[in-house]
Structures are given as structure tokens and as C-alpha cells.
Amino acid sequence: MELKRVVVTGMGAVTPLGNTTEETWKNLIEGVSGAGPITHFDASLFKTQFACEVKDFNVGNYIDRKEARRMDLYTQYALAAAKMAVDDSGMDLEAVNKDRIGVVFGVGIGGIHTFEEEAGAYALTGKELGPKYNPFFIPKMIADIASGHISIMYGFHGPNYTTTSACASSTNALADAFNLIRLGKADMILSGGAEAAIWPAGVGGFNAMKALSTRNDDPEHASRPFSASRDGFVMGEGAGCLILEELEHAKARGAKIYAEMAGAGMSADAHHITASHPEGLGAKLVMERALEDAEMKPEDIDYINVHGTSTHVGDISEAKAIKDVFGSHAYELNISSTKSMTGHLLGAAGAVEAMASVMAVKEDIIPPTINHEEDDKDEEIDYNLNFTFNTAQKRTVRAALSNTFGFGGHNACVIFKKYAE
């Protein structure tokens, strides 16, 4: 059968750099850091006391406040991003066939704050007074509930589920949504991811693994991918939502088109529960599969939004994989890690980075990798690669590739290109 073409027709974002796609993109291009002291809880006793938090989020702008109290923060972020994407898409909710519109959303952890609060309350009083759990405890906590709430909000009856593959979750969601539309199973799918894990259990857990930066005296410069002095990732939070749509359906309703989704790849490192393969074998395979799926050659890619978490092994192995896949062209394309500004949004990372990749294709400009100093070089990294350090770079971007790699060795990659008839 002939596969259908898929385009991006709407986007919405809640990120540490802004509560809209436009504000987030502006700050990415300007090289703004979203990091600062943690305000969600008292982190004074933690090894890491900073993160990239969402700022000035007003849930009442998107949903009824009474309903919001029955949702974990990650679901609130998801609904806000979805609403912005729907509004941005210009879809006529009275005219579209809602049976053909689905929701595939990713989350890495889910309602960790809700779980922590309820379990903590039981630990303090439950053993003496008996369990008094909130009746909304389970519906607030479970990882699939954001996609359910989005479909309920709009009455979308198409495919609806959640992908959970740690930091690759929302890229896996985009890949699944892409394939469902290509196969004719839906006309439109709201896809992306959400996460809100900046709470004691999240920060404490990652601290125990020694995964987080502890640069408490200089949070804004803590996320420094590909720099020798990097000491771990900076936790972020938020949500991103892209509306993927079958091309002819989009054209029939006169939708604006940001870019075309060209391909997707998936692989497993099968190496270690948290560390990427030191030679980047899983990363190499996932990029090769995405290129094959898109029927593109390595030299067709002008920009890679890398996973680039600012961890020692991860940054080295991804740079090696890029050189293996792209050969001499690796030195011609641009590379950047937007995590240097947003922090690591965990299950939402892939969605926000896909949006940045789409905007790079649309606007012909590459967001930078910030916080690099000329004398801060790792001898295991080839700095002849163009990591787009510190300053955005204008160039024609015919196609962009976005990588995400999750704990457990889960790798996912998506490709977007300029739309043309």
C-alpha cells in the first residue's frame, strides 16, 4: 500500500523558557537559560538545589480550576500544550470527524508528586488512623491519564494511549502517531509529552544516581553539553504537543503547514540500565533507521537536535555515533543541544526538541548549545564538529533530525523536512 504523507499543522508548549511555542523558540534562539533555584519545594538539604522550572503557569487559562485540582501537574501541562496546539492548528471542531482524531502522548514518570504526597500522608498517619487516600489518587497519578484527559476535553475518539520509554517517551509517541497516520488509521493525532518531576522524590532519586549537576552556585551555566566540565544533567519540566495530520486532510481544510514529518527510527542499546553504549551503537542504529524510513541520505540532513544531556558518557557516545552515521557530512551539518537551555524534560524532552527542530526547518536558523567555553574541551570529543556553541546560526535547513535516548537503552529518532508539493 502507498503510505500517506504526514505534516505538522499545530504546536503548543509549556517549558522553562516560556508558556507558548513562540516564547520558547525566541528564548532558544537568544540562548536563554531556564535554570534557577528550585521553588516547588525546599531543596536546601539536597545535593542539587536548582532546576529548569516552568514559570508563571496559570492553569486557569486552559482548564477549569476545579477540574485542575483533580489532576497532577504533568497532566495540567499536557492539557495546556494540547489546547495551544489545537488553537494553533485552526481546526474547526464542529466540522472535523472526531472519530478520526487521536491522542498519543508520552510521559516518563507520570504523577510522581501525587504519589509522593499520598504515600507520605499514609506513612505519617495511616498506620495509626487507617488509610485515607484521596479518591483521585490513582486517576491523578497514572501515566496514561494525560492522553485520556485530552481526548475527553475535545471528544476525540481516535487511537488513544501513552508511550513510556523514559527520556525517549514523547519521541516514541511522535513515531507511533506518524505511523498510524501513514497507515490510514487516523486523519490527525495530537502527539507529544509531558513531565513534572521536580519534587523531592525526583530530585533525590536522580541525585542518588549521581545523574544531576550539583553546580548550585551557578545554575544558569550548569547544563553544558559537550564541555569537559559537565557534571550531569539539569532537570526540567513542561509539555509539548504537535498536531500531526495527513497531508490531503490538511490541504482540504486549508491548514498552515510548519513542516513535513519524513521518518522515524527506534532501537535499543541492550547494554546498561542507565548508561548509553560507550561507542554509541544504539544511537548509530536509530539514526540509520530513521534515515532509511525517510528514504533520505545522510547528506540530506542539515541539523541534528541531539540528546545532549551534559553527562560524561552520553555526550561522547552520541558524538561518536554522529560521525559513524554521517561520515564527512558530520562536519558540514549543525549540531546543538537545546537541553543546555531547557534542561532535561525527561518524558517531555522529545516533544519540545521536535518542536525546536520543526522551527529550525521553518525559520532556517539553528538554536545554540550554550555554556561552552573555548578552553573547556574534552579530549574524547571532536570539536571539528559544529556544535553551534553559544550563538544561533542562520542557514538553510532542508531537514532536521532529533534524537532522544532513555534509561533502559531506549532510543528514538524523528526527522522533519521542508514541506513541498
Cα atoms found within 13 Å of the Cα of residue 13, Cβ hemisphere only: 26
Catalytic residue among 52, 167, 241, 413: 167
Active site residue 413: no
Catalytic residues: 167
